[in-house]
Amino acid sequence: MKFIIVDNRSGKSRSFAASGWILGLAIAGLVGIPVAAAWLSYRTGMGDAAMVTDMVGKWRHVLKDQGREVADAQRDAEANLEASALKLAQLQARITRLDALGARLTNMANLDQGEFDFSQPPGLGGPESATEGAPYSPPDYMQQLSKLSKDIESREQQLSVLETLLVNRKIKDDRFVAGRPVEKGWISSRFGMRIDPFNGRREFHPGIDFAGKLGTKVYAVAAGVVVFAGKYAGYGKMVEINHGGGFVTRYGHHEKLLVKAGDIVKKGQVIGLMGSTGRSTGPHVHFEVYKNGRVVDPSAYIHRASR
């Protein structure tokens, strides 16, 4: 087969002849190139799709794991918030109770309410430290918990001081000799010179006698330690109590003793029952007060107001 090629610019023509098998190869090449390109494109596309599918699958697993972690973190956060809210409420309740207790104790003790103002924190201070740590900003709820904890600590400090004052005052009050050794009864003989009921002579009476019914309760007029409890010449069954500070009291003529030597007694504690043992004409309590080893008139202490 003969082919003629014409040049458009020069108008010249050229011709050549081609055999049948060359022409077949040319046609096969023209048809095969697009087919090969299409096949390569298809194969490449199939590879990318498989790779993308594999990557998507892996990411889905990662996302699921992260989703579970986020859900767990959210549940933990909610639980922590609930716990923090509960702790906050408990601390607030503690402060309310402490304030009420402090105010009540202040009123009971007749203390200066300005000095023990439980609505204000106590004054604190001191020199600034030379070394400073890095600043830290906790979350809001943590700041509230920290503030409440400090408020509770300050109130507990105030109550501790107040309690110490009250205890010390109570100890002093209990040791304060004052009052009558009997709740009911009348004074049958006073302190000082008198006519002795047994011999009729004028003699010194070192105490005050309280007459009453047999078995009437006899009370300690102050706290102290029992240094003697038993029969004593002239006193019958007697109790002697050392109150400290140089004060000693005696209670004579009991029918029955309810304490023994070495016992620690409180103010107002029953120490015996009124009787007529020893040198006595009838049921009564012979009451004596000693100050620094010397007997004194009990009248000053009987009519003495308790602190």
- Please tell me what DSSP assigns to residue 135: P
Lowest mean pLDDT: which of 3-12, 187-196, 246-255, 295-304? 3-12
Which of 24-38, 155-169, 279-293 is the most confident on average?
A: 279-293
Decide: 73 and 81 in contact? Cβ < 8 Å: no
Residue whose C-alpha is closest to residue 102's, from 148, 161, 171, 170: 161
pLDDT top residue among 280 and 98: 280
Distance CA 227, CA 239 (A): 8
pLDDT for position 95: 72
Mean pLDDT across the chain: 76
pLDDT for position 281: 93
Decide: 256 and 231 in contact? Cβ < 8 Å: no
Q: Would you say the C-alpha torsion 188, 206, 204, 238 has a positive or negative sign?
A: positive
Decide: 211 and 226 in contact? Cβ < 8 Å: no
pLDDT for position 197: 85
pLDDT for position 11: 57
Report the length, in residues, of the chain. 307
Phi-psi region of 293 (alpha: psi -120 to 50; beta: other; left: phi over 0): left
Distance CA 130, CA 119 (A): 33
Amino acid at residue number 172: K
Decide: 140 and 196 in contact? Cβ < 8 Å: no
Percent of the chain clearing pLDDT 90 (strictly above): 34
pLDDT digits (tens, 9 = 90+) for 11-66: 555 555 555 555 555 555 545 555 555 555 555 555 555 555 566 566 566 666 66
Distance CA 258, CA 275 (A): 13
Q: How many CB atoms lie within 10 A of CB 103?
A: 15
- Please tell me what DSSP assigns to residue 179: S
Q: Which residues pair with 56 in a beta bridge?
A: none
* CATH 2.70.70.10 holds for 186-302: yes
pLDDT for position 45: 53
Percent of the chain clearing pLDDT 70 (strictly above): 54
Distance CA 15, CA 172 (A): 142
Model confidence pTM above 0.85: no
pLDDT top residue among 33 and 302: 302
pLDDT digits (tens, 9 = 90+) for 77-130: 666 777 777 777 777 777 777 777 777 676 666 666 566 665 666 666 666 666
Give the residue extent of every domain in the chain. 84-119+137-175, 186-302
pLDDT digits (tens, 9 = 90+) for 257-267: 999 999 999 99
pLDDT top residue among 38 and 153: 153
Amino acid at residue number 217: K
pLDDT for position 229: 96
Backbone angles phi, psi at 125, to 5 degrees: 180, -170
pLDDT for position 174: 72
Q: Which pair of tokens denotes residue 198? A: 């047994």
Find the distance separating the first CA and the last CA of the chain, reported in whole Å.
145
Q: Which residues pair with 282 in a beta bridge?
A: none
Angle CA 39–43–49, to nearest 5: 140
pLDDT for position 305: 52
Q: Tell me the H-state helices in the chain.
A: 20-109, 140-175, 299-302
